[in-house]
Amino acid sequence: MDTDKKTAAFLRRIAPEHGMAQLFDILPDISVFMKDRHGHFMFLNPRGCEYCGVRSVAEALGKTDRDFFPEDRAARYMADDSRVMADGIPVLNRVEPEPGHKGSPRLVVTSKMPLRDTRGQVIGVIGLSREVTGEAPASLGVGRVARAVHLFYARFSEKLSVAQAAKHVGVSVNQLERLFRRLIGESPQHCLLHIRIEQASRLLRESHASMADVAQTCGFYDQAHFSRTFSGTVGCSPLAYRRRHQTG
């Protein structure tokens, strides 16, 4: 019997109550999740429940990212899952903002892999996220990206430039561009834009501020620029988004 067959035979002998889920439940700083092919949550460990804002996995079963996260972020998560399941190519150690409804300066490192059944068919996706901080090793670039994202969250309402962010974290503009594209998969400009859209979405859901005030608060040039950018990113106008989320 070769090594792979020995491993498979050993794993089949493990009783369900002593499987990996038991280990996932005691990981204090790692979120673990499983979803089916339609994006419905099938498993969450305690940290994953915290990110989704539920008390137990039972409250999340059968729901999707859209039930827990802002529309723009949920759409990105689900599109990412679909690519992993379609291509069978895992996402490994991607740095991205911490999941949650409100803006957070924290980052997580996320990995996702296709989840297969005993016949090898893809039936969903399994993933985990662990928090990183600005004190992460500079050689990995994670610490600098974390500090830049923290700066974006702190000053998203200002006319902040990528050159200012690069100077703040101690690298050149080109170096910061490369770090963001390698670790987050997008440019610093797009990361800042997504943060501004995220903050604008929150204001549209939770306040009655005018569109002009939302635009100014979130760092857009003017109301027209805000409306065009929001519509192109979220897929509907700011007014339509507010009506959808403030019904009643």
* Residue-by-residue DSSP string for 79-106: HHHHHHHHH-PPEEEEEEEPPSSS--S-
pLDDT of 125-141, one tens digit each?
A: 999 888 765 444 444 56
What separation, in Å, do the N-terminal and C-terminal C-alpha atoms of the chain show? 65
Query: pLDDT at position 76, please?
Result: 80
Mean pLDDT of 32-36: 92
Say what the pLDDT of residue 137 is: 46
Which of 65, 98, 132 is the C-terminal boundary of a domain? 132
User: CB–CB of 153/168 below 8 Å?
Assistant: no
pTM here?
0.58
Domain membership of residue 7 (yes or no) is no
DSSP structure class, residue 16: G
pLDDT in tens, 73-110: 788 888 889 888 988 888 877 777 777 644 455 678 88
The CATH number of residue 46's host domain is 3.30.450.20
127 shares a domain with 172: no
Task: Please indicate, yes or no, if residue 178 is contained in any of the structural domains.
Answer: yes
Classify strands 41-44 and 122-132 as parallel, antiparallel or unpaired: unpaired
- What's the number of domains the chain is made of? 2
Among 66, 100, 132, the domain boundary falls at 132
- DSSP designation for 218: T
Residue 168 predicted with pLDDT over 90: yes
Nearest to 24 by CA among 50, 51, 43, 2: 43
Give the count of beta carbons closer than 10 Å to the beta carbon of residue 48. 24
